[in-house]
Structure formats: C-alpha cells, structure tokens
Chains A and B, each alone.
Chain A
Amino acid sequence: MEPLRLFRVIEVRNLTKHFGPIVAVQDISFEVKSGEIFAFLGPNGAGKTTTIKMLTTLLAPTTGKITVGGFDPTKQPHEVRKRFGIVFQDPSLDTELTAFENLDIHGVLYKVPKQVRIQRTEYLLRKFELWDRRKSYVKEFSGGMRRRLEIARCLLHTPNIIFLDEPTIGLDPQTRNQLWTQVKRLNEEEGVTVFLTTHYMEEAERVADRIGIIDHGKVVVQGSARQLIQQTSSQTLEEAFLSFTGSAIRHEESTSLDRMRNAAKLFRR
C-alpha cells in the first residue's frame, strides 16, 4: 500500500459541541487517512452535520481539537478552506444561474487560474454528464442533476478532502447508485479523501473503506464494514449496527431506526 495512506488528513480529539442544553456531539475522536473513504453512519439527529460544520470552519467546537489537512479550522480557517470541498446536506446552488456560471463563481472564489478553471470545469461537467446542460439554469435541473453539479463544483479547486453530507437524500435508487459509482471512481483516480455521512447502511457498506457509527452524539465504534460485522458476529451491517447502538430501542428512537431499516430495504431492491 502506498505510504500516502498513512498520512492523517483529518484528526479529531475529544470533540464536543453543545447548543445550550443540547449536547449535539459528545467527546468524539477519530481520524481519516489520506485517500480513504470514511463514512459517518447514524440516524437523524446523531450529530453528523454538526461534526461536519466544525470540521469545515462553520462552527466553533465547545471543546476538543481538530486538524484538517494539518491546520486547525478555528485558528487558520482559510488554510483549511482551501483544502476541502463540500456538498452540504441542503442545496447550495444559485438556481438563477446556469450550471457553468455556478462552477465559474466557485473557481473565482477559490482563486483557480482562469485557464485551469475553464479546463477543469469542462472535465468535471463531462464527468458528471452535465456538459450538454452547462448553459441551462439550475432551476430547470432535477434533484439528481443538482447533486451531481454540487459534487462537480466541490471538486473544481482540486481539494484534498471532500465532505459529502447525506448526498443521496431524496434521490431515487438509480441516481444514488450512479452517484456513488462516480464518487468511488474519483477517489481512485484523483486520490481525493472522502468524508461522507449517510443514514443508509447499504451505502456505507458499499462505498466506505471505514465506517464510524455515530449515535446520540457519540461515535460508538469504527472500522471497516467487515470488521464491524465480525466483531458482533452478525450477518449484515444492519445487525452489527443494531448490536452497537442497542436493540433495546428507546421509544423515540424506534421510529428513526425503523425508517432507516425501511430505507435500506428499499435501496437493496
């Protein structure tokens, strides 16, 4: 295995975030190595987005230490920002602009030299099958096209790390499938480290090299899908997940877990 893999791109130590009385993230520690695909798997409200916001300079931690690409997001936000691309959980495109214009603004904001900007925009739009629609307004795009455009955009400035916060939410199974194929291919071709969150176990199992299970703001366990399954002598990741997060489900939690199970079944079809 190439030595680059050993380099830790993201390091998180005893990270905690409070919102008043709410503890959104509680004393979590993990690391992501260069070139790895790391998935945060957990139900809604587990603290996935809050963690991403702290990693991406949008939110200051209550306590704990973070480094991203070797820099502390609270102390050197611009150094960190240059090095990552992000697809937020909620949309973030300007729908009144065209696909091309959205990428172009991004390129300028990230100070990508004009020539490179033009080349890479074409390369990425072709890769994500949007080149023919580059002059269309984003408001005319379907959900899947918008997601693809956002992924293309976050790669424009050739970041070392990309954060994908539940990128497949609201997409149909075919589109999801295609999206993950593209992400996996990019990870292999460009060596970009991927930090993704999902509440679909199937997706985590399929794309991630390593998975961190997060529940109630805590990282319960981390390892490859196979390790997690073996550790619990389960048959599937779903069983493993349940044995880590406790199958003695508290009432309010049962609904979200049920939803996850149903969603996973749906995805398997």
Chain B
Amino acid sequence: MSCIYVLWLRQLKRYTRSRSRMFASLGQPILYLLAFGFGFGPIFQKAGQGNYIQFIAPGIIGMTVLFNSIFSGIELIWDRQFGFLKETLVAPVSRLLIMFGRTLGGATVALIQGAIMFLVCLGAGFRPLNIHALPAAIAFMALIAIMFTALGTAIASMLSDFHGFQLVMNFLVMPIFFLSGAIYPLASTSKTLEWIARIDPLSYGIDGLRGTLIGVAHFNLGFDLAVLLVLASVLLGLGGYLFSKICL
C-alpha cells in the first residue's frame, strides 16, 4: 500500500511544482465557459431553456476533469521517454499496484483542477442549487477522473512516443467532450445525437454533475452512478492489464 501512496504523492508533487501546467490546462475550459456561456446565453434564454451559465458550468467542470485526467494518464509517455518508468518496472512490486498509484495520483490532480474550475464557475455567476449536494458532485468528479486517467494510462501503455498524442486528442478526447451533452441539453437534440451520447462515458458523468449541482438530470442519478462505477472498474482493469504488458 505504501507504494501506491508514494506514487500518488509523486504525481501530486509534480503537479504542484508545475504552475504552467496548472494554468495551461484551465485556459481552454475557461475560454469555453466564457465564449459559450456568455455567447450563447441570450439565445438559450430566449429558447426558454433558462440560464445557460447554470447549464454549462457542470459541463465545463466535467470537461476540465476529462482533459486533465487524460493528460495525467498520457503523462506515462513522458515517464517512458525520460526514463523514470524503467525504475518502477524493475522494482519488486506488482505492476498493478504501480498502475493504481499513478492513476490515483493523476485522478487526484484532475479532481483538484476540476475543483478550481468549480470556483471559476462561481465567479462567472454559477450558483449550485443545493450546497449539501456538493459531496455527491465531488464523487461524480472523482469517478470521471479515475475513469479517464485509467483510459489515458491504457492508451499511453500502447504508445512509445508522443506521435500518437495529437491523434488521441483529436479523435478521442474532443469527440468525448462535444458529444457528451456538456454544452447542449440532450433532451432537445436529435435522436441520433442523444443515442451517441448514450455510448459516451462522459455523458453519465456530466449528467451526474448536473443532477447534483442544478437538479436537472437527463438520465437518472442512480443509473449514472452505476454506469460510471462499472466503466471506471473496467478501464482500471484494462489500464492495469496493458500497463503490466509494457515492454521497454
């Protein structure tokens, strides 16, 4: 267990020491929050959908967690390139534990980034419905974080250099974000988009966040939670398996 802790701590130290990363990975979500939130706000309101900032804030928080977790997972490529990975792979410790330690550390970093984004949203005028629902919202953020850090780790385990990174961003992360209902209500989109959202893991995370923070859920909170728990376990298992198969 202490090896999980020490690898978790390592991820956190690397994060707190790199201010540039902290800000860089908040820039994009903040831009989305402002451009979409204030840009589409009036139209959204006219269409009778209510306050758009209220609607989009959980989506933007989910986006922050998504981007940061995928990035945390993909960071494995850096460790491979700069060599630290070798040090962990010859240690007399099961690779599964090493993967769990890294993943929990990466997920924690993503969760902190999500919490910072939550505060930014408050600054932009977002008001959660019920402050007592906050722990439940944090739980949803944590599940999104674990799920996608594990996915990032799984992908990074198969890549040996940075070339595939852009591919992952463009063909996986961006679609996961845009198709999840983070920026538009699933209830009013086409049947096709709604159906696609159903196979997007992030949809359930965003839905859970919206349900807990503004009391509007497209699916059902219990269902969201169940889906996320299953997906997080499956991806942890897959990530652990692929990580243990890494050949240097």
Contact = CB atoms under 8 A, between A and B. Distances in A.
A108 B2 contact: yes
Given A58-B248, A82-B92, A96-B18, A105 B82 contact: no
A79 B248 CA distance: 20
B6 A81 contact: no
Nearest to A91: B83
Chain A interface size, as a band, is: 20 to 34
Nearest to A81: B92
Interface string B225-248: 000000000000000000000011
Contacts of B93: 109
Contacts of B18: 96
A94 B6 contact: no
A247 B123 CA distance: 76
Given A81-B92, A105-B6, A92 B13 contact: no
A57 B6 contact: no
Given A57-B90, A108-B3, A93 B14 contact: no
B13 A97 contact: yes
Interface string B1-31: 0110111001001100110000000000000
B90 A56 contact: yes
B126 to A, nearest CB: 34
A240 to B, nearest CB: 34
A88 B7 CA distance: 21
Interface residues of B, number: 24
Contacts of A78: 92
Contact of B89 (A58, A90, A94): A58
A180 interface: no
B90 A101 contact: no
Interface of B is mostly: helix
A78 B92 CA distance: 5
Nearest to B18: A96
B246 to A, nearest CB: 10
B105 to A, nearest CB: 12
Interface in A179-202: none
A58 B91 contact: no
Contacts of A111: 2-3, 92
Interface in A76-105: 77-79, 81-82, 86, 88, 90-97, 101, 104-105
A94 B84 contact: yes
Nearest to A107: B6
Nearest to B4: A108
Nearest to A104: B6
Contacts of A79: 92
A96 to B, nearest CB: 5
A101 B87 CA distance: 14
Contact of A92 (B6, B7, B86, B247): B86
B248 A109 contact: no
A141 interface: no
A205 to B, nearest CB: 29
B88 interface: yes
Contact of B10 (A58, A92, A105): A105
A96 B14 contact: yes
Interface string A55-76: 0111100000000000000000
A58 B247 CA distance: 7
Contacts of B247: 58-59
A106 interface: yes
Nearest to B7: A105
Contacts of B79: 94
A95 B84 CA distance: 9
A244 interface: no
A90 B6 CA distance: 23
Interface string A129-166: 00000000000000000000000010000000000000
B79 to A, nearest CB: 8
B6 A108 contact: yes
A88 B83 contact: yes
B128 to A, nearest CB: 35
A92 B83 contact: yes
A110 interface: yes
B10 A97 contact: yes
The 6 closest A-B pairs by CB, nearest first: A92-B83, A109-B91, A81-B92, A108-B6, A78-B92, A82-B92
Given A94-B82, A153-B87, 6 more contacts: A58-B248, A79-B92, A88-B83, A93-B83, A96-B17, A105-B10
